[in-house]
Structure 1
Amino acid sequence: MSIWLVDAYAPPRGPCVVVAREPSPTSRRRRAQCKIGSFETTHPRQHVSNAFQTRIRFPRAAFAFAACAAVEASRLVQVAVAAALMSLDLRDTTSGVVGAVFNVYAGLPFDVVKVRLQTQSPTSVPRYGGLVDCFAKTVQQESVRSLWKGAIPALSSAIVENAVLFSANGALKRVFFGAGESLSTLDEALVGSASGLFSAAAITPAEVIKCRLQTYAHAESMGIWRCTQSIVKESGVMGLTAGLGAVILRDVPFNFCFFGLYDYYTAKFMDLSGIDSRRELHPLMVLASGGCAGATSWTIVFPADVIKSRMQVDTRLTFQAAVRKVWRVQGILGFYRGWSSAVLGSFPADGCLFLGVEMTHRLFAHFESNV
């Protein structure tokens, strides 16, 4: 690129003469070594490889390449985020909300029992002897309604979680695989695990409040707002994010197994029924596929859920401290306390979740075909 200069020796009364001065030999040599400005900025990798291939010897050139790479990387991230946002579909969000309502009211009694079994003191005489004993004592001492204790925060948590989960799942499929593409079981599992990152961040505050309300016998009189105030007073605003690491550790592998196994089970039912589309599956087969996927996935990730519950009830516990405390007092069996209630509850809850999701998609398809 030529540098334009005004000739200082132009006649004083005549017009200014503008001449193009060629780069000096030193400038040519440095430009050949650094290649600055000699290529299109298309991808950050091009800047990095150019920097290494030309063996940059000058700090300014290194900074120039780094700046170009950073700008291009930032641009690509913005494009990816914009593409994901543009790929959001209201049908995915609505189906997630409907599935969440089905999920909560079908599985909340088992969830209440699971949390109580997980968080009872291991050093004193256990308050509950097991799943059936916990159900019986809860109903006798606190009424049947207590089995749905924490329903409002549980419902809000489930709606947020599943709306985000299924919205992100649908958007990621369209961004990386295209609309209408049929995915393999592994692809379904990978997209599901990536979606779990978004849902984990969204649900943690509601999960903390739900665990507090489910654990304390007189929490119902406290209410959601007073429970939130109590958590903030004890641990600050960050107390509402207690157990986030454990939630991520639970949800990412859980959703990997959950979506992958759901795809696997529905494929098997489709083969048995001789049909080609999941939309044609009988609702009972959808219910069974979701239930089996949920029960299997919970078994795999249950230790992380135990740690998550401990951290959210006692917000002062760190992840490592919670693991050490369970291991020291209860051993390996402590990581599976409440497993039976979780697995028994996950079958109807997760079965109803996918049933709600699939039926909502079918309803949208029916309306679209008749419009």
Structure 2
Amino acid sequence: MSADFWAGYISGAVGILIGNPLDLIKVRLQARDAIPSQTATSYVRQFESKSALVAGTAAPVLGYGALNALLFVSYNRSEAALNNALNTQSSLWTTWVAGAIGGLATWVVSTPTELIKCRAQLSSPPASSWNITKQIFKTEGIRGLYFGGAVTALRDSIGYGFYFWSYELSSKWVESNRQNSSAFSQDAAKVLLCGGLAGVVTWASIFPLDVIKTRVQAQTLEATTVPLLGSSESSTQKRLGAVEVAKKAYREGGARVFFRGLAVCSVRAFIVNAVQWAVYEWIMLELGQGRNKRVEPI
């Protein structure tokens, strides 16, 4: 495996372990009105146990490590290929396009990972990621694990385009405004700052899409089964798509509903991505693949 694969995998797993408690709060804020069975009291009680704070961690630790590895490998190869095709040096434009390609490439991993994570974080009583995976596969098959895939792919493509773009932009700005020094402390501070800013910019750019994705994936087959009028039998309603979910959310809470949880998410994004980029850059440096090393396309 390449250096950027392992650097991406390890940094992704570390990021999940650090940010899961705040991600748990974000997801529940986003889906609060979409799960009528959860009252305000039950919503609060779910945070009383320590196990609730790590709910849904198993799937993303495994899945997001692989996702991050795939993301960085796809991004590095795509940027190198674009620069070779255009016969030019890296630019912010090619960085954004390469990031979008990398984000789109993660769809095969991110959709089931996000689905399982959301269901685990919203389940009451808490359920393990493995039990949720088995239940989905048993009732819906492999297609069930990719429910909400279209909006997830759109979110990841746009978001990761801005992710790498903002990291490169802020890195260039820091480099142009600091003294000529390569001291490790300054380099570490730069990576932490630029990584944190990249995380905030990314989530701010796609947060409404993430709200829609969460509400789409929060729908289960059980939640769409309602009693027939005047009958004890049940009728299964069709789960809503992304457009229908967006319209329903807007009718219920206006434009504000699409930004609920953004503050919590921004705090989490800065912390997680600062650490994630620092771990990635450090591993790449240790493996002899620092930022000055050119990545060749496959």
Shared topology, TM-score over 0.5? yes
Contact residue 46 and residue 124 of structure 2 kept, 8 A: no
Residue in 1 aligned with 2:24?
112
Aligned to 1:305: 210
Equivalent pair of 1:92/1:163 in contact (CA under 8 Å)? yes
CA distance, structure 2, for counterparts of residue 269 and residue 99 of structure 1? 23
User: What SS does the corresponding residue of 1:365 show, helix, strand or coil?
Assistant: coil
| Counterpart code for 1:270 | E
CA contact (8 A) 2:104 2:154 kept: no
Asked if residue 365 in structure 1 is aligned to residue 288 in structure 2, the reply is yes
Q: Deviations over 1:17-59 (max 9, x none)?
A: xxxxxxxxxxxxxxxxxxxxxxxxxxxxxxxxxxxxxxxxxxx
Q: How far apart in 2 are the matches of 1:348 and 1:280? A: 18
Measured in 1, the distance between the counterparts of 2:37 and 2:130 equals 32
Q: Output the TM-score relative to the length of structure 1.
A: 0.66
Which has more radius of gyration? Answer: 1
Deviations 1:152-190 (A, max 9, x none): 101122112101100101111232324xx8511222111
How far apart are 1:317 and its partner, in Å? 2.4
Partner of 1:270: 175
Which residue does the alignment assign to 2:274? 351
Identity of aligned residues (%): 25
Does structure 2 retain, via aligned residues, the 8 Å contact 1:270–1:276? no
CA contact (8 A) 2:83 2:94 kept: no
Superposed CA offset, 1:214-235 (max 9, x none): 0013233xx3332112223443
* Partner amino acid, structure 2, of 1:92: D
Partner SS, residue 254 of structure 2: helix
Distance 2:67 2:32 in 1: 27
The normalised TM-score by structure 2 is 0.81
Residue type of the alignment partner of 1:311: V
The equivalent residue for 1:153 is: 59
The Cα of 1:138 is off from its aligned counterpart by 4.5
Per the alignment, residue 101 of structure 2 pairs with 194
- The alpha-carbon deviation at position 103 of structure 1 amounts to 1.1
Tell which deviates more after alignment, 268-277 or 98-107. 268-277
Q: Name the structure 2 match of 1:43.
A: none
Between the aligned partners of 1:209 and 1:268, the Cα distance in structure 2 is 38
Q: Unaligned regions of 5+ residues in structure 1, if any? A: 1-88
Tell me, yes or no, if the aligned pair for 2:34 and 2:218 is still in contact at 8 Å: no
User: Matches of residues 112-191 of structure 1 in structure 2 within 5 Å?
Assistant: 112-121=24-33, 138-139=46-47, 141-143=48-50, 145-178=51-84, 182-191=89-98
Task: Report the counterpart of residue 187 of structure 2 in structure 1.
Answer: 282
Corresponding position: 1:231 with 2:143:
no
User: In 2 relative to 1, CA 229–101 (structure 1 residues): closer, same or farther, beyond 3 Å?
Assistant: closer
Q: Answer yes or no: is 1:340 the counterpart of 2:245.
A: no
Distance in 1, matches of 2:90 and 2:6, equals 22
Partner of 1:90: 2
State the partner residue of 2:166: 261
Larger RCO (CA under 8 A, 6+ residues apart): 2
Indicate yes or no: 2:156 matched with 1:251: yes
Unaligned runs of 5+ in 2: 221-238, 291-298
For the residue of structure 2 that corresponds to 1:273, the secondary structure is coil
Within 1, Cα distance between the matches of 2:130 and 2:35? 32
Match of 1:203 in 2: 110
Aligned length, in residue pairs: 269
RMSD across aligned C-alpha pairs, in angstroms?
A: 2.8
Equivalent position amino acid for 2:279 in 1: G
The 1-side partners of 2:271 and 2:280 are apart by 14
